[in-house]
Amino acid sequence: MTDTPSVLITGASTGIGATYAERFAQRGHDLVLVARDKARLEALAGRLRDKTGVSVEIVPADLTNRNDLGVVETRLREDWRIGILLNNAGAGLAGAFERQAIDDIDRLVALNTTALVRLAHAAAVRFVQVGEGAIVNTSSVVGLVPEFGQSVYGATKAFVLYLSQGLGLELGPKGVYVQAVLPAATRTEIWERARADPAKIPPLMDVGDLVDAALVGFDRRESITIPALHEAEHWDAYQAARHVMIPGFAQIHPADRYRTAD
């Protein structure tokens, strides 16, 4: 792996992914950009090459398609220049659960979870072999807040958070850094694509601010980065409360409150 590794970014044609591409190009990293929209990828790649002089390759791919996904997995397994995977591709889905089309739900889960974990695995196998590398997974604060009412989307993002924390514990001692980035509401096209009601869209963070904050967390080697959370001690308290419960799970008898029926 080179001193300045290449970065493979999924969901790179717009929004958070495109902004990450700009920032990493400015840092001197060559790029491999993955998204469905070939025209947008080509336009972005051309701008970045002209502006920064880095090498930018594009891989048009629909990550819900197993053949396309396989192409990206192979690239991650075989391209030893790639030292950073940015698992950013994702989608939302508006509306009440019972009104969402099951095929739309299936595609959402495939993109937000299955594709992400397969790409993370493809990268991790090689990163562990060389003893270095980084995997950045885009989660969401919605994964912490079922009260938001985006049940399937939030569940996929909770999966990404848990996976990232688990992989950090597994892979960290082997030289692989894993970061989960949890955006709050951010100004991207995801709202329009999810057919969200404009009247219900909350105040939005600028995507550049989001990515710049996430990169501060990346440089600090944070495991969890939540740019919108001003009180870091709240996350620390959340983690502390979770750890307090862990010893209580190792019991062979049910808790007293379940021993008798009300």
> What is the reported pTM?
0.93
Q: How far apart are the C-alpha atoms of 260 and 257, rounded to whole Å? A: 7
Is it the case that residue 262 has pLDDT exceeding 70?
A: no
Q: How far apart are the C-alpha atoms of 183 and 90, rounded to whole Å? A: 12
Is it the case that residue 215 has pLDDT exceeding 70?
A: yes
Split at pLDDT 50, 70, 90, the class of 191 is low
Q: What is the pLDDT of residue 195?
A: 61
73-91 residue pLDDT tens: 999 999 999 999 999 999 9
- Domains of the chain as residue ranges with CATH: 6-258 (3.40.50.720)
Task: Specify the amino acid at residue 146.
Answer: P
Taking residues 157-186, what's their average pLDDT? 96
The residues, ordered by sequence, that sit 6+ positions from 145 with a Cβ below 8 Å of its Cβ are 154
Split at pLDDT 50, 70, 90, the class of 94 is confident
Taking residues 40-64, what's their average pLDDT? 98
The active-site residue out of 153, 177, 238, 258 is 153
Q: What is the pLDDT of residue 167?
A: 98
Q: How far apart are the C-alpha atoms of 26 and 54, rounded to whole Å? A: 9
Split at pLDDT 50, 70, 90, the class of 25 is very high
Taking residues 40-55, what's their average pLDDT? 98
DSSP-assigned states of every residue in 31-88: EEEEES-HHHHHHHHHHHHHHH---EEEEE--TTSHHHHHHHHHHHHH-TTEEEEEE-
Taking residues 37-61, what's their average pLDDT? 98
Taking residues 155-174, what's their average pLDDT? 98
- CA-angle at 61, arms to 181 and 23, nearest 5°: 40
Taking residues 47-56, what's their average pLDDT? 98
Taking residues 46-51, what's their average pLDDT? 98
Annotation says 153 is catalytic: yes
117-161 residue pLDDT tens: 999 999 999 999 999 999 999 999 999 999 988 999 999 999 999
Q: What is the pLDDT of residue 128?
A: 98
Taking residues 108-122, what's their average pLDDT? 98
Q: How far apart are the C-alpha atoms of 48 and 130, rounded to whole Å? A: 29
pLDDT averaged over the chain?
A: 94
Is it the case that residue 28 has pLDDT exceeding 80?
A: yes
